[in-house]
Amino acid sequence: METMASLNHSLSPANIRTLSSNISSGSVSALRLSLPISPAANRRNKLTVVRASIAVEQQVTKKVALIRIGTRGSPLALAQAYETRDKLMATHSELAEEGAIQIVIIKTTGDKILSQPLADIGGKGLFTKEIDEALLNGDIDIAVHSMKDVPTYLPDKTILPCNLPREDVRDAYISLGAASLAELPAGSIVGTASLRRKSQILHRYPSLNVLENFRGNVQTRLKKLNDGVVQATLLALAGLKRLNMTEHVTSILSMDDMLPAVAQGAIGIACRSNDDKMANYLASLNHEETRLAVACERAFLEKLDGSCRTPIAGYASRDEDGNCIFRGLVASPDGTRVIETSRQGPYAFEDMILMGKDAGKELLLKAGPGFFDC
């Protein structure tokens, strides 16, 4: 009777709930019940405990992600993270298992401060700093970035071995009332958070006004447009395509009307420099043509070492003969001065790096002292 009473007490509803909770959470220690039962029953219980322990450990192992992808939380950033995840799953069978890849959302300084223009709060690294820190701290295994947000320098102990195939690099014009920038009435307000776009708009259409602190994700900016805050806006066509929102596009600007930002439309994926496993995963996704073009453009940007207030644009592409064509420009923020250059050469890493640097050096000389100061 004593034994049965003790057993009934140990397996009371409250204790059973506690046991179930602990097992679900992966704790095996809750299985060590002190029950005054016979030796034979005790042996059976020990076997049960061992089996339960194995089952719980297997359950926990299954939940551990093989790759944790760090990303910003905007719809576009998440679309890029999911694109990365899908490519990894399609390329590596072990990553196709449920739970093998985890998306980790990280809020960056650029996401937190929306009340000021990007140039006023630092410009470079605003959308990557916290993600890089999470990577170095081991909270994530790889980091997915829009390459145009990545500073020309990478944090120590990190590498960026992968660029996914580049999307359309052009800018999209969006308006509810005019078919193009040229058709906007004088005094119309165009919203943009980009000094590059502002300077090129004002250079060609000085009668327009530009609302510089037109920030927020794509959905937020389109809402502001619909609410009449501005009469038009420009957005990267690549982002609209990745979000399946191209129905909002009024027209697409040509390269002559709007040279894109360095690395626009390209996704870059970083990992720790000592993590060979992740580096190998990423190498399998790398699109070499994109990587070389981005490297050329970033060499141009690095040579200029422009401040957060310097409008800079650059684009490298492969022509029909397989050569690299590079175009670059710098401008004054008000658009009164725009300086352009171009290069052509072999579509090969070393040659393209030299082209980018040489183009940057030329524009530095043409611009003169003080042009790139904040």
Q: List residues with catalytic annotation.
A: 149
Q: What is the dihedral of CA 250, 254, 258, 264, to 10 degrees?
A: 90
Q: Select from 258, 184, 176 the least CA-distant residue to 224.
A: 176
Alpha carbons 183 and 203: distance in angstroms, whole number:
15
**Cβ–Cβ under 8 Å, residues 276 and 159:** no
What's the token pair of residue 6?
């003790």
Residues with Cβ < 8 Å from 170, sequence gap 6 or more? 237, 252, 253, 254, 255, 258, 260
One-letter amino acid for residue 359 of the chain: A
Q: Give the β-pairing of 189-191 and 232-236.
A: parallel
CB-based contact 257:181 (threshold 8 Å): yes
Extract the tokens encoding 362: 């030329």
3-class DSSP assignment, residue 253:
coil
CA quadruple 148, 154, 155, 159: dihedral sign: positive
Three-state DSSP class for 350? helix
CA 340-145-190 angle, to 5 degrees, is 50
What single-letter DSSP state applies at residue 118? G
Q: Is the dihedral of CA 133, 135, 136, 139 positive or negative?
A: positive
What residue type is 29 in one-letter code? S
User: Shortest CA distance to 144 belongs to which of 249, 269, 258?
Assistant: 269
Q: Transcribe 80-132 into DSSP letters.
A: HHHHHHHHHHHH-GGGGSTTSEEEEE---HHHH--SS-GGGGTSTTTTTHHHH
End-to-end Cα distance, the chain: 86
Beta strand pairing call for 267-272 and 158-163: antiparallel
